[in-house]
Chain A
Amino acid sequence: MGALTELDLSALWVSMRLATMTVIILLLVGTPLAWWLAHTKSRFRPIIEAMVALPIVLPPTVLGFYILVALGPYGPLGHLAHLSLAFTFTGLVIASVFYSMPFVIQPLQSAFEAVGKAPLEAAWSLRASQWDAFLTVISPIALRGYISAIVLGFAHTMGEFGVVLMVGGSIPGQTRVLSTTIFEHVEVMEYAQAHAISAFMLTFSFLVLLAVYMTNRRFPIHVS
């Protein structure tokens, strides 16, 4: 197993930054959306649910293609930003948010469904406002859902390839992430380096999933 080069390390750094930012954005956007999906009686609910789940079944290249078009100078997002976001880190973050959305929203939604409205009403009856009740009662009880959402969202963003290649290209230090680095090593027959990164990601993914399943099993929700 060869040592990681400086370029590989910079790709690791980009991947980590990308995954962290994606997860933070998805938690902020996903929490209200997941709460709404868990409790709404709206007839639009299945439509929104299907849209959130799309990235699970869609070929990443399809998603990547549309995001690329949207981000480009003539696309709506690029137009809004007055410049092309394609092949930039920002563009990559936007694409990842869509791509990893189901992996954050779905665990949160099931957690909120499991919590139900009863603890919320109890908190209101104890003078906690909406925001207060959410922070002190709902989110701690839904903690497992949050852990799953964070871990799955992070790991899934780390592992994305198709979308990254379409939207980000593979510009070293900016949009070259671990998964695209492997591809490029293989293209120039640097199997040892490809193997090093691949083994790292394999181990990483396995440990992450192991952690999720172990916490789901026995993570006690105690805070005080």
Chain B
Amino acid sequence: MSRLLARFDVRFPSFHLDVELDVPMSGITAIFGPSGSGKTTLLRCLAGLERAPQGFMQFGEEVWQDESRRRCLPLYARPIGYVFQEPRLFPHYDVRSNLLYGYKRIPLDARRVAPEQVIEILGIGHLLDRRIHKLSGGEQQRVAIGRALLTSPKLLLLDEPLASLDLQRKQEVLPYIRQLHEQLHIPVLYVSHAIAEILQLADRVALLKDGKVTAAGALNEMITSMKFRGQFTGHRIGAILDARVAAHDAEYGLTQLEFNGHSLFVPLQSVAVGNLVRVHILSNDVSLVLGKTIVPTSVLNILEATIVEIQETNQSSVDVLLDIGAPLVAGITRKSLMSLGLKPGQRVFAHIKAVALNEELME
């Protein structure tokens, strides 16, 4: 699989960006870090908007920047779609002309994304003849995303595209980002300081702190890993699973999801069978049982798991990292840990009391 390699070392009066990045060019890679950690600067370096003196950047086989040969492609020569924090739509054009601005500048044989497709995915068909100032913030940002997509980019850079939007407007945009990625297969780098957005979108995450990438890896491994969990503070910790919709049961109002041979039941979803949904399982909603229960239980979702690691979170409770073919975390009391005698490597059954779906993550 082709990868993105980048090395930047730029000093600013009050800030030093010193980054090495090596990420596969598929899926959504989140760049996560607090405000002022250099996320936007990193994205601007990747786009060629800031020129790092000793920078190097390679996308697949194409070298876009190599300062040892004094080479740096300007942004307009790179096949990048860039969505800024503010929509930056052109006020003198209507929505349609904004959308087609980049599209018209792409050679015919390089156009892989069709306007109808983007308009449909982003749900902006009814806005085409509107003036920019007549759009809501969320609508503007969707047009900005569409405009970037219509350049048929090989890489899409999103710089906190939701930061300027309120919660409701965020939900006008977020589902579309996930969808467009599933339908158009354009690799995305998504910069954000909002963990909720990352939990909902990302496949992979790179942690940025004080201008340095401190860790990078698959999202579900990172958020369940004992080592990096401290970085995701401010949010209830759990695990992320991408499961496929297997069946709907209208009689009981349930939807059956499948992943790695496991089944999960969740309240009835309006997603078609065969589609992927992302579920979030909080550690406090997972309890552990030794051996398959003989006593009948009201819990529907029981998964067989192997204990990977145990860590104390405070005096009374511990987190147990489980392997169910994907990482899962159970938050139990230290007393339970002792009385059950749990140890790494042991087989247990995880009882899952609640499963949150994508849309519920934003609260």
Binding site for B on A (CB under 8 A): 118-119, 121-130, 132-133, 136-137, 140-141, 143, 221-224
Contact = CB atoms under 8 A, between A and B. Distances in A.
Nearest to A136: B101
10 contacts: A118-B88, A121-B49, A121-B75, A121-B82, A122-B84, A126-B102, A140-B92, A141-B92, A222-B92, A224-B97
B77 to A, nearest CB: 8
Contact of B90 (A132, A137, A143): A137
Contacts of A119: 88, 90
Given A127-B76, A129-B76, A224-B97, A122 B90 contact: yes
Nearest to A139: B92
Contact of A118 (B80, B84, B101, B106): B84
B75 A125 contact: yes
Nearest to A121: B49
Contacts of A143: 92
Interface residues of B, number: 26
B148 interface: yes
A124 B131 contact: no
Contact of B80 (A125, A130, A132, A136): A125
A28 B4 CA distance: 43
Contact of B148 (A126, A129, A133, A140): A126
Contacts of A224: 92-94, 97
A125 B81 contact: yes
A107 B75 CA distance: 29
B291 interface: no
A121 to B, nearest CB: 6
Interface in B286-339: none
Interface string B81-124: 11010101111111001000110011000000000000000000
Task: Identify whether the interface residues of A are mostly helix, strand, loop, or mixed.
Answer: helix
Contacts of B89: 122
Contact of B76 (A128, A141, A223): A128
B74 interface: yes
Contacts of A130: 76
A126 B88 contact: no
8 cross-chain pairs, A with B, having the tightest CB-CB distances, nearest first:
A126-B102, A125-B82, A127-B105, A122-B88, A124-B75, A223-B92, A124-B76, A140-B92
A222 B93 CA distance: 7
A56 B147 CA distance: 45
Contacts of A221: 91-92
B350 interface: no
B47 interface: yes
B131 A126 contact: no
A128 B105 CA distance: 7
A144 to B, nearest CB: 11
Q: Which of B47, B94, B105 has most chain A Cβ within 10 Å?
A: B105
A141 B90 contact: yes
Interface string B64-86: 00000000001110001110101
Contacts of B200: none
A127 B74 CA distance: 10
B29 interface: no
B84 A121 contact: yes
Nearest to B74: A124
B151 interface: yes
A223 B147 contact: no
B148 A125 contact: yes
Nearest to B90: A137
A126 B93 contact: no
A122 B82 CA distance: 8
A137 to B, nearest CB: 6
Nearest to B107: A127
A127 B101 CA distance: 9
Nearest to B87: A122
A123 B76 CA distance: 8
Contacts of A126: 76, 101-102, 105, 147-148, 151
A133 to B, nearest CB: 8
